[in-house]
Amino acid sequence: MMKFGGTSVGSPTRLRQVVELIGKHARQGPLAVVVSAMGDTTDWLLDAAHLATEGDLEGALAVATRIADLAKANAAALAPGQATALAERVDGLLAPLRQLLHGVSLTRECSAPTRDRVLSFGELVSATLLAELLTAHRTPATFRDARQLLVTDDRFGAARVDLVRTRERLQAARETWGVEVPVLPGFIAATPDGRTTTLGRNGSDYTAALVAQGLGASEVTVWTDVLGLHTADPELVTDAYPVAHLTHGEGLELAAVGARMLHPRTMIPLIESGISLRIRNTMEPEHPGTLIDAIGSRDGQRPACIATREDLALLGIEVRKLSDQFQLGERVLAALREARVTVWMTAQSANGQSLAVVVPRPDAEHARSVLVTELAQELSRREVEPLEVRQPVTLLTLVAETMGHGVNVAGRFFSALGAVGVNVRASAQGASSRSLSCVVDAADTAVAARTTHAAFNLAHQQVSLFVLGRGTVGGQLLAQLRAQQALLRDRHGIALRVVGLADSKRALFDAAGLTLDGVEARLEGVTPEAPQARTLVPLLDALRRLPVPILVDCTAAGGLEALYTEAFQRGIHVVAANKKPLALPWEAREALVDTARRNHVAYHYETTVASSLPVIDTLANLVRTGDTVRLITASLSGSLGFICNELTAGVPLSRAVRTARERGFTEPDPREDLSGTDVARKALILARELGLPLSLSDVALEPFVATDECASVDSFFQVLATQDAAYAERVARCRHAGTVLRYLARIDPSKAGTGSPVIRVGPVGVEAGHPAADLRGSESFVSFTTTRHSDFPLTVRGAGAGGAVTASGVLADILRISQTLRGR
């Protein structure tokens, strides 16, 4: 059994392909064909009926001529020798249509029976011509009028089929048909007394299923313009791909939630008779398409499908006073059924106190009116809240046969939506556990479909990065992403995409992902606009719509806490190497962290202290496990550590600082390091991790070098050279005393509330054996003396400065978020 849609017979090229396909398969065994109207003919017929109703007979007849011209052109292209005869055949078939339109124009009325008669001409012309063209191409075929085979009631426009009488007629007709291929028009049928009816949406597919059942076919192949049933709507999800194999149950679930190529009426005869359904592309007949049968795929990793039904409305009903006699759900559904309002989903609370109903948006006001009438007494007694209508909304459904065999499917479904800020307005799951549906706002349709599709169908977790800064750290992060992207995707299942890049003056953004090769140069080509943080907010709105959105701050800029807050409120995670937002006054810092917590997003800042060393995580684990931190001693500046070692080796101060800056160990302005402010911020961050409500002004700070903040960086180096001799002498004194010059932070929680500084930062001479004495190069260390680690303090030590090291720590924080969401 084969069925061809309107696009498959809408042009000479496609019609030729149809004739060849039928000819090929007819030689392999018995075959029946159902065909739809050519191209847009059905829409044109609706236009003609409307014009005639308006009294525009000339316009209506012009549409009829357009239909005739399409049919004649297609026929002439395939059978030029019979063009005249076929054209006359078309005119003869459409002559009753012209008479009908004339009558409608006179009465200015097009009743439902008349409308069905008008619409029938598209299929009648298409099936008649296809039978003629097949015969002309040496595949004997005969037109068989579906109106003599399919029996329906008189619900014109959406007639219901009398299955028993239809099956009897088909089986009887089969006995009289010879070897010629029967070609039947889809979509149309007739009442027992012979009046033409139509079967409504997907009527031609339904015709094919009924004919296949009546004739005892083993398979129905629906030929269309796509490669099969996709995992999602390709117009919404670019990653969607054809599904090779589905069960009848999955097909029925997809049909029930509005999958475009399926309808429950089509599936039911196939399920009852065990007939397979295959969906294939007319223009790519070698592609196997999608097979739907009783078995389905045996692949345990088979894909899940995401179906979206748009242009809906959500009606919410809430009961103030429950009663055993109320039966809210039953009454609501019965009233809507009586009013012939389609209900796509219902969701009722466990106690029956609230009910959500999803209906087509054009029917929303009618449905509301029906329910107001039905619940009039309860509304007047204020036992029911006034009905709420939310529109437009979309019904999003996950369908997978194996859904009931796994755990946390619903958790993954709703977590994926929540991670990108999509609000779920209502939800429902069937008893079969084969599908899970929810209602989302229409504006969230695309992002919801893309996000859930990625969560259930992709082998990798997609992560969307918006990187701020392309200097020492940002540039190294981009380089590491370029080097690691393929490995992370293939070996660890994480697909990192940089979708945005910004510096202090420019920004690039592409939701599909920026090509990293040469991205810095492309950013340079953007016209500078000196944006403040607030100008990036519109890009955050775009970022929040992407899978696992993360704002990555690789700058040392101040004032970005406002941008962080905007990101948190949009459900965007933040990974930062920037210490300044964490060194804000205590109340502001707590508000920032609390905003992330309240919006259930991550704020990771491991690299703000000691670069990529796991200092903050180690401290957090000590506190979480109930240990008491008594003292923290730390060398928190890899740059100052490097400078101290250079001084010890006899290098002048100005040259040591310049070398540290050239190697990327210092901040862009080395005075940040030399003043001790950078170390003070890091120490403050650690103290606050202990819950100490301190500010920068509470730090007892002695600079490593007194700095002039007003001078430029270049002039500062000139001044610094004048201090070379003094620092050489200072190092000599330390050597004479058997010590080594270091710049340390000391955090003593026991000093809290005593009036003495809890945090001290400054240069000191340390003796041999001290953890800081043998630090090499830009190494940092942090020593935790705790109740459990009292005799032998817990020490974290390693490279504490440098763009590459810090960038690796930033990347580790990004992967930490990615792997948490991925579940491993």
pLDDT, one tens digit per residue, over 755-800 is 999 999 999 999 988 888 888 888 889 999 999 999 899 999 988 7
- Are 33 and 48 members of one domain? yes
User: Pick the residue with more confidence: 711 or 287?
Assistant: 287
- Are 38 and 172 members of one domain? yes
- Nearest CA to 568 among 600, 607, 606? 600
- Are 339 and 364 members of one domain? yes
Is residue 820 over pLDDT 70?
Answer: no
- Are 359 and 481 members of one domain? no
Q: How far apart are the first and last CA of the chain?
A: 48
Those residues whose C-beta lies under 8 Å from the C-beta of residue 776, and which sit 6 or more positions away, are 645
User: Pick the residue with more confidence: 324 or 6?
Assistant: 6
Instruction: Indicate whether 94 belongs to any domain.
Output: yes
Decide if 321 is catalytic: no
pLDDT tens profile 660-691: 988 888 877 888 889 999 899 999 999 999 99
What CATH number does the domain containing 433 carry? 3.30.2130.10
CA distances for 237 relative to 97, 228, 440, 446, 698, angstroms = 42, 15, 16, 7, 53
Instruction: Indicate whether 471 belongs to any domain.
Output: yes
Is residue 350 over pLDDT 70?
Answer: no
pLDDT at 326: 58
Instruction: Indicate whether 248 belongs to any domain.
Output: no
Instruction: Give the domain-ending residue among 225, 251, 277.
Output: 225
- Nearest CA to 605 among 524, 493, 686? 686
What CATH number does the domain containing 218 carry? 3.40.1160.10
Instruction: Indicate whether 146 belongs to any domain.
Output: yes
Total residues found in the chain within this entry: 824
- Are 414 and 512 members of one domain? no
Q: Find the catalytic residue in 3, 72, 579, 682.
A: 682
Instruction: Give the domain-ending residue among 196, 225, 254.
Output: 225
Instruction: Answer positive or negative: Cα dihedral of 187, 188, 189, 195.
Output: positive
In the structure encoding, which two tokens stand for residue 268, read together?
A: 């039911």
Instruction: Indicate whether 720 belongs to any domain.
Output: yes
- Output b/e per residue, 522-546; b: 16+ Cβ within 10 A: ebeeeeeeeeebeebeebbebbbbb
pLDDT at 625: 93
d(C-alpha 129, C-alpha 16), whole Å: 12
pLDDT tens profile 713-765: 778 888 888 899 999 999 999 999 999 999 999 999 999 989 999 999 999 99
Instruction: Indicate whether 261 belongs to any domain.
Output: no
- Are 396 and 490 members of one domain? no
- Are 119 and 133 members of one domain? yes
The whole domain housing 133 covers 2-225
Q: How many Cα atoms are found within 13 Å in the side-chain-facing hemisphere of 520?
A: 11
Q: Residues 467, 500: contact at Cβ < 8 Å? A: yes
Name the average pLDDT for the chain. 89
pLDDT tens profile 254-301: 888 877 778 778 888 999 999 999 999 988 888 999 999 988 876 655
- Are 540 and 405 members of one domain? no
- Are 776 and 815 members of one domain? no
Q: Residues 354, 319: contact at Cβ < 8 Å? A: yes
pLDDT tens profile 552-571: 999 988 899 999 999 999 88
> Structural domain tally of the chain?
4
Instruction: Indicate whether 237 belongs to any domain.
Output: no
CA distances for 290 relative to 107, 230, 235, angstroms = 48, 8, 19
- Are 447 and 465 members of one domain? no
- Are 621 and 605 members of one domain? no
d(C-alpha 613, C-alpha 633), whole Å: 15
Instruction: Indicate whether 163 belongs to any domain.
Output: yes
What CATH number does the domain containing 596 carry? 3.40.50.720
Instruction: Give the domain-ending residue among 427, 453, 479.
Output: 453
- Are 602 and 685 members of one domain? no
pLDDT at 824: 40
Q: Residues 252, 264: contact at Cβ < 8 Å? A: yes
Q: Residues 713, 661: contact at Cβ < 8 Å? A: no
